[in-house]
Amino acid sequence: MYDGLRDHPGFQRLRDKILEYQDGAMSVIARRLMSGEVVDQREIDFMRGFAEGALVIVEMPEEAEKSLERAAQSAWNRALQEQLTEEEGASPYG
């Protein structure tokens, strides 16, 4: 499911647009600063926060997939540990 979303052309285009916005915003701020203009820190913070928030949304499928993989691995490890514990308890030498 996540692979399909991540590979969807529309989703990729959205991610590209967000990265373009981020690059463009940095360029605009840099040009303004280099020209001697005083740029309000709140404006810089807003642009950065907007871009970072948008990236979190488009990266959510990857993070969700990683989270699911960690949960599955953890469950597998617990199941193996429980099986080993039961086998040790059943041993006549235990």
pLDDT over 90 for what percent of the chain?
39
3-state secondary structure the chain: CHHHHHHCHHHHHHHHHHHHHHHHHHHHHHHHHHCCCCCCHHHHHHHHHHHHHHHHHHHHHHHHHHHHHHHHHHHHHHHHHHHHHHHHHHCCCC
Q: Quick check: 65 and 4 in contact, CB under 8 A? A: no
The answer on pLDDT for 94 being more than 60 is no
pTM over 0.85: no
Calculate the average pLDDT of the chain. 85
> Looking at per-residue confidence, does 89 or 82 come out higher?
82
Residue 48, pLDDT > 80, answer: yes
- Residues in CB range of 6: below 8 A, 6 or more apart: 12, 61, 62
- Please name the amino acid found at residue 21: Y
pLDDT value for 66: 76
Question: Would you state the structure tokens that stand for residue 52, as one six-digit string?
Answer: 């970072």
Domain with 6, as residue range(s), is 2-90
Our count of domains for the chain comes to 1
1-45 pLDDT per residue, tens: 666 777 788 888 988 999 999 999 999 999 999 999 999 999 999
